[in-house]
Chain A
């Protein structure tokens, strides 16, 4: 049995997918949530000056989607073929592109006027472009999930991202995407995930506790 230690900030961000994967698989892990001071001390020793990192029996793995994919493989959540595994990668990468844009106005842009302009572009143009494609993928796949017949790490990754959009951008952002709204509901109704969401601070609407908003998240 391997020991797992996941280290990240005290927020959902780029680690929640991995936390959800452990929870779904029923595999124990140490869920380290850094304060700003702790991050300052740890940063130089991380492989790329970033978190999350995952320690597996003391060996360090970095890069959030790499970690999630590694756990997806370990917990048999990569679909039922190499093709389905590749589709998981494709959909996560495409959604990740959208989140690079999200980060610009949620985190990096401090000027309120520029921030509002970026948010406007995100809501009117960038998000719909991605969500339309995801909606069509979901409809075309049939069933409950995005890839094949069974739950994959891509479903968990993307459901989490959709929830983040609702919580941080616009509560009704999925209004025009009923397939995605249903998809998200189904993923979060999976018993182990449902229990986790009810028990943890997952449901808080803000991305992070107020106290930690001063942390320097840049590289």
Chain B
């Protein structure tokens, strides 16, 4: 089996997939599509969006789309979904909650109108973000140990650590100050050997 990730040259909705491959120790082709090339690529994608994951065997080529579906597929294949189906469901739940948060994040980050952007950022920083982070911080603390679900690293930890970093770079470096257990989670994930090696080598990117 060979794997080819197609995404833009940014972190966005592709970085968690890259981190998962890294954590699993699985090689993949990290194809980064430039903005100029995107129009030519778009119609060939299932939903007109990236990322997509191409999985090739000797006889087949299959394409999977939708970033979270891709994450979950890799996670399941490489045993990063917890110890049982309940833990797998908890991974799904926490990821879904953070996906909801990032639907709000997108509203302020990509808002072109300066006034609307400022208002959206305020709502994000004062309402949406604290509600979610407070809950996640509590869940991490309650779980005990280094991770969010069960005893071992799961894709939920990796997905969420990636998004916590995104908050630090887009909202401010002190954003995790009130959420020590989430800071520890991010540190624990980024300290996993294979992930640390990946982070040391990856390109700089704002987002």
Q: In the bound complex, how far is the Cα of B66 from the Cα of A93, in angstroms?
A: 7
Interface pick from A3-11, A56-64, A164-172 = A56-64
Q: In the bound complex, how far is the Cα of B91 from the Cα of A62, in angstroms?
A: 11
Q: Does B171 reach chain A (CB closer than 8 Å)?
A: no
A-B contact pairs, 19 of them (CB 8 A): A56-B86, A59-B86, A61-B86, A63-B92, A63-B96, A65-B96, A66-B96, A73-B88, A82-B73, A82-B76, A83-B62, A86-B69, A86-B70, A89-B69, A90-B69, A93-B66, A94-B65, A100-B103, A129-B48
Residues of A within 8 A of B90 (CB): 61
Q: In the bound complex, how far is the Cα of B135 from the Cα of A130, in angstroms?
A: 34
* A112, chain B: closest CB distance, angstroms: 22
Asked whether, in the complex, the Cβ of A66 is within 8 Å of the Cβ of B89, the reply is yes
* Contacts A49-B131, A70-B85 given; does A86 touch B93 at CB 8 Å: no
Q: What sequence of 0s and 1s flags, for each residue 48-68 of chain B, a beta carbon within 8 Å of any chain A beta carbon? A: 100000010000001011101
Interface size on A, residues (CB 8 A): 29
Asked whether, in the complex, the Cβ of A63 is within 8 Å of the Cβ of B97, the reply is yes
Given contacts A65-B92, A89-B68, A90-B66, 9 further A-B contacts (CB under 8 A): A48-B97, A48-B132, A61-B86, A62-B97, A66-B89, A86-B64, A86-B73, A89-B73, A90-B65
A-B interface contact total, Cβ < 8 Å:
76
Q: Does B144 reach chain A (CB closer than 8 Å)?
A: no
Q: In chain A, residues 181-195, which have Cβ atoms closer than 8 Å to a Cβ of chain B?
A: none
* B29, chain A: closest CB distance, angstroms: 19
Asked whether, in the complex, the Cβ of A70 is within 8 Å of the Cβ of B92, the reply is yes
Q: Does A214 reach chain B (CB closer than 8 Å)?
A: no
Q: In chain A, residues 67-86, which have Cβ atoms closer than 8 Å to a Cβ of chain B?
A: 67, 69-70, 73-74, 82-83, 85-86
